[in-house]
């Protein structure tokens, strides 16, 4: 017996009813990637309102590294609810707030003094990091990259790529944001080697320091060590090293956006640890709270202290409930056996995805990622690499019908992304890949 157990078609009648209610009352601008309504979840499995049990390979878009409803997290939140639900960290201080920040600072890479500021969402964390960099440096310019996703507030939307999906109709956007090419080695010119292409990208980065903005005006360079929405693209080491060097040479704050790629997802607590590079600031979120709304910025104390008193914070920032949940999540994520398992999950999943790439060589253009943060890019032609958004959508619909939740990613929305809870079993991975295989075959039939 596998995990998946379908008692109705997907979506079932109760899901359809709830989705109809949703569409009647909630803005159509709020994204909806699947037509199912979920009642409960545990580990890597979710149960919908019709009683169907499905495997979750979306993981709350990267929020569920420790799995749905981890018992330690549930217990901690239940106990905290009985003691203190809210007081506001601006009004008073409480143990979970301080303890979480101490733990984050302890686990973050780097040897010098570190501090933390907490927020509710990843976008707020990125915005806080930008404010801190500007306050610390006295500069305005922010450098970001094509394919980046940093959030949906006005500032972070301005920093985000993929115009049509995230930015269309929402301007004007924030000023002093400079977007540079990201070295996507899969889509490099045919005549260039990977090494040559990355070196060219470094040269273009250097050129932009003259052609687009002078380093003396740059407050921060913000980059995802592994692009999430951009298509699970690991930043080439040489490129990340060059960014670190430019920041060191010109007093620029290097910000690593670890919101999706952090919290154990890649087999390290933070993805930048794979590179041996220490950013000045890191934004953290998603799996930090294991489903609870919490995010933050951790990094050099002198930079974090750059803001004036009252310049940071919010009514719910550092909620006691979210803090105790994040403490439990970090304790689990920080264990060697958890990180080892994250690596094993990534290796097994990548191996099975590579098998599918060999089986369907005409449509699976690339399998990539870092650790257990993986994606499969679908193309119309492996030679031209023309993206196939339609096939990607049909595959995601086909997996859902069979009880596997997968969602899209990529600048062209032509990647199937895989973010399973990391307490998933080998048997569940095999079950999911069998369904993925069936789904691709059915879409090509």
Which domains are present in the chain?
13-56+344-444 (3.90.1150.10), 72-333 (3.40.640.10)
DSSP annotation of 258: -
Cis peptide preceding 11, ω within 30 of 0: yes
Closest CA to 144 of 157, 154, 125: 157
Specify whether the CB–CB gap between 333 and 339 falls below 8 A. yes
Specify whether the CB–CB gap between 235 and 226 falls below 8 A. yes
In this prediction, residue 1 carries a pLDDT of 72
- Is the Cα torsion angle 261, 265, 269, 273 positive or negative in sign? negative
CA 126 to chain centre: 13
In this prediction, residue 164 carries a pLDDT of 87
For the chain, which residues score pLDDT lower than 70? none
Distance from C-alpha of 284 to C-alpha of 281, rounded to nearest angstrom: 10
In this prediction, residue 299 carries a pLDDT of 98
Closest CA to 209 of 242, 187, 237, 241: 242
pTM of the model: 0.97
């Amino acid at each position: 017996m596998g995990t998946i157990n379908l008692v109705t078609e997907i979506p079932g009648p109760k899901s359809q009813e709830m989705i109809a209610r949703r569409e009647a009352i909630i803005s159509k601008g709020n994204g909806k990637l699947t037509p199912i309504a979920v009642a409960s979840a545990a580990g890597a499995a979710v149960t919908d309102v019709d009683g169907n049990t499905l495997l979750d390979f979306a993981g709350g878009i990267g929020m569920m590294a420790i799995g749905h409803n981890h018992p330690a997290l549930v217990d901690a939140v239940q106990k905290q609810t009985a003691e203190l639900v809210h007081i506001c960290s601006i009004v008073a201080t409480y143990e979970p707030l301080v303890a979480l920040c101490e733990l984050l600072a302890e686990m973050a890479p780097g040897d010098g003094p570190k501090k933390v500021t907490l927020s509710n969402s990843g976008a707020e964390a990125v915005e806080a990091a930008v404010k801190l960099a500007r306050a610390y440096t006295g500069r305005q310019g922010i450098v970001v990259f094509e394919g980046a996703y940093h959030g949906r507030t006005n500032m972070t939307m301005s920093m985000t790529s993929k115009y049509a999906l995230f930015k269309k109709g929402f301007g004007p956007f924030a000023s002093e944001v400079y977007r540079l090419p990201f070295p996507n080695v899969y889509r490099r010119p045919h005549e260039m080697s990977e090494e040559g292409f990355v070196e060219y990208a470094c040269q273009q980065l250097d050129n932009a320091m003259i052609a687009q903005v002078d380093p003396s005006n740059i407050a921060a360079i913000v980059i995802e060590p592994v692009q999430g929405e951009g298509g699970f693209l690991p930043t080439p080491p040489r490129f990340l090293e060059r960014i670190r060097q430019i920041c060191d040479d010109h007093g620029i704050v290097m910000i690593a956006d670890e919101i999706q790629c952090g919290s154990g997802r890649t087999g390290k607590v933070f993805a930048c640890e794979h590179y041996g590079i220490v950013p000045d600031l890191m934004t953290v979120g998603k799996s930090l709270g294991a489903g609870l709304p919490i995010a933050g910025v951790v990094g050099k104390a002198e930079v974090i202290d750059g803001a004036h008193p009252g310049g940071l914070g919010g009514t719910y920032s550092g909620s006691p409930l979210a803090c105790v949940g994040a403490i439990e999540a970090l304790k689990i994520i920080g264990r060697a056996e958890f990180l080892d398992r994250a690596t094993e999950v990534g290796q097994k999943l990548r191996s099975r995805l590579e098998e599918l790439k060999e089986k369907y060589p005409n449509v699976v253009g690339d399998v990539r990622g870092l650790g257990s943060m993986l994606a499969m890019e679908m193309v119309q032609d492996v030679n031209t690499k023309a993206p196939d958004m339609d096939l990607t959508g049909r595959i995601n619909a086909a997996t859902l019908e069979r009880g596997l939740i997968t969602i899209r990613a990529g600048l062209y929305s032509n990647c199937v992304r895989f973010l399973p809870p990391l307490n998933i079993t080998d048997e569940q991975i095999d079950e999911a890949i069998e369904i993925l295989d069936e789904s691709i075959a059915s879409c090509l039939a």
